[in-house]
Amino acid sequence: MTDKIIELTAEIAASYLGANAVSMNELPTLIKSIHAALSTVGQTPSETAVETKPTAAQIRKSITPDALISFIDGQPYKMLKRHLTTYGETVASYKAKFGLPIDYPTTAPNYSSARSAMARSLGLGYARKATTVAAEDTAPVPRRKAGRPRKVAEAPR
């Protein structure tokens, strides 16, 4: 296999040099890059790709109002957690793998606010206000103070 790669490298380099002018100093770099590219043909992307961490600008661009752009496949998602589990990752491992800040969101901002508004409209997260009828039924009974005799109501005459 390596002999075949060397032959293909020579053919590609010869074709490239026939059509382009390259200085003698750049020739070894050209041959090495062609050989490296041919050596990785047929390998899976995880074997060839070196994980590069996104820049701060890429991180900012990945957060849109309606979706979060995944660094794994570049697709928009409202929630990243379910997407990450399909790749066998957790939110913490995803953030560590791509060098994301700890406060990086896992849900899209508009989706979070819509869910929050729905929860508030349902009254979730707040103590329920007792109705007046229920408040009367559950009102505490006043206790008699110790040491004082009880007043007895006299019968009407």
Residues 62 and 129 in one domain: yes
Question: What is the number of domains present in the chain?
Answer: 2
Residues 72 and 33 in one domain: no
The Cα–Cα gap between 83 and 91 comes to 10
The Cα–Cα gap between 71 and 64 comes to 14
This prediction has a pTM of: 0.48
Domain assignment of residue 152, yes or no: no
Contact 104, 59 (CB under 8 A): yes
Summary count for the chain: helices (H), strands (E): 8, 2
C-alpha pair distances (Å), 6 with each of 14, 32, 42, 75, 86: 12, 11, 16, 38, 39
Question: Domain range for residue 13?
Answer: 2-48
Residues 84 and 97 in one domain: yes
Residues 58 and 129 in one domain: yes
Tens digit of pLDDT per residue, the chain (157 long)?
A: 678 888 988 999 899 888 888 888 888 888 888 888 888 887 765 544 556 788 889 999 999 999 999 999 899 999 999 899 988 899 999 999 999 999 999 999 999 999 999 999 998 887 766 555 555 566 666 666 666 666 666 666 6
Residues 37 and 97 in one domain: no
Residues 43 and 56 in one domain: no
Residues 13 and 74 in one domain: no
Q: Residue 3: what residue type?
A: D
